[in-house]
Amino acid sequence: MSRKKQRVLLGMSGGVDSSVAGYLLREQGYDVIGVTMKVWPQDCISRAEDKCCGPQAIADARGVAHSLGIPHYVVDEADQFEQLVIDYFSSEYQAGRTPNPCVMCNEKIKFGNLWSKAAALGCDYIATGHYAIIEHSVVPQSRDDRGRLDTLVKSGSAGITDPGYNYAVLRKGIDPRKDQSYFLFSLRQPQLRRALTPLGKMTKPQIREIAHSLGLKVADKLDSQEICFVPGNDYKAFLRSHLGENEFHRGEIYDVDGNFVAEHSGIELFTIGQRKGLPGGSLRPRYVVDLDPETNRVIIGDAENLVCDEFEIDSVNWHPAAGVTDPGYNAVAADVDRGSFKATVKIRYSHPGTPASVTPLENNRAHIHLHEPQRALTPGQAAVIYDSDMVLGGGWICRREVTVPA
């Protein structure tokens, strides 16, 4: 008697990546169901016309699903998207932090709320077109135990409920220009164990070549280069529309020496490292080096004031491969140098990564010492920790206050 096919719920954005992911999963023997999330309220739909979850995207996804011979559904997640992603995006700017909505959308929506839909349809997995590798494995003893990590489940050969395979390893995709493991760092083990990312071991040119060979109309569709709900990538205009001018926190701009420079119309309109839009009158370029949400002060300084070599992260999600038990991690009782270990840390998605010493702390925090100082560490952005290509964990960069004379 043949084994029943495993069923996969595939998130389809209408782009070439998720479209080819559907084809690859079908060829690997999965029973694939396509789903596109509608995340826009009806009165905002015109704003999303060309976005990944807008009307054209839904039409493109439906057309691809028809070509592949798989069912396709549209799921209305507008209310949840508003609460979990858009409100988070706005509140982070109000708190003087720079948000990363893609990480939040993956954790809370795509690999979060969507699971209830997947379960209702009898699915074993959720799949996406992310360029990352998720391997199912037995649990290793530590970061340094490579032996047990070598015993991996081959793609499609075993299910998430198979005995002994209760651990997922998240790795970088092999295409360094497209790797998206950074955006998946916050997924917990239950989410990773039931996730599939079939594009992780492929490059973008290979994906487009497959799409052309299948005759898919989206084969040459351009990639989205902006936040899906921010038209033209103009986040300031979006905040004005979403929050209203009256909700902006007005305040004053000071330099790092404590000199008053000017008034500003909202701390929400600034981010660390920003140069454009600052008052003139200085012989040297000036940048935003700190945002104080308690006083609504914007602190500006020279490029050298942007550089630092240590910071903390909070709400850390440790992957089991890191060998860290948190919360309640006892750094004092740990082995060498208060439990620190060497790793590579990415301080933003476009950052190449830099060597660092990482010290886990209590209450889901960690201290990171960069071996080479880096520019414009931005509170609210994610710092993701790697051992070579393997994600060990990550968290959200905390504010490093710049001392300004009273």
Q: Do 291 and 272 touch, CB atoms closer than 8 A?
A: yes
Across the beta sheet with 297-301, what order do the strands follow?
Answer: 260-264, 251-255, 297-301, 287-292
Euclidean distance between CA atoms 38 and 27, whole angstroms? 27
Active site residue 52: no
Q: Hey, which residues does 344 pair with through a beta bridge?
A: 355, 386
Q: Do 307 and 373 touch, CB atoms closer than 8 A?
A: yes
Query: Can you give the C-alpha Rg of the chain in angstroms?
Result: 23
- What is the phi/psi pair of residue 37, to 5°? -85, 130
Which one from 52, 102, 123, 228 is the annotated catalytic residue? 228
Question: Which class for 181: exposed (0-12), middle (13-18), buried (19 or more C-beta within 10 A)?
Answer: buried
Which one from 52, 53, 102, 105 is the annotated catalytic residue? 105
DSSP 140: P
- Indicate the Cα dihedral angle 387, 379, 103, 243, nearest 10°: 180
Active site residue 398: no
Q: Do 172 and 133 touch, CB atoms closer than 8 A?
A: yes
Across the beta sheet with 195-196, what order do the strands follow?
Answer: 72-76, 31-38, 7-11, 125-127, 195-196
Closest to 257 (Cα-Cα) out of 406, 377, 399: 406
Q: What is the largest CA-CA distance in the chain?
A: 80
Q: Do 253 and 269 touch, CB atoms closer than 8 A?
A: no
Q: Which residues are catalytic?
A: 105, 228
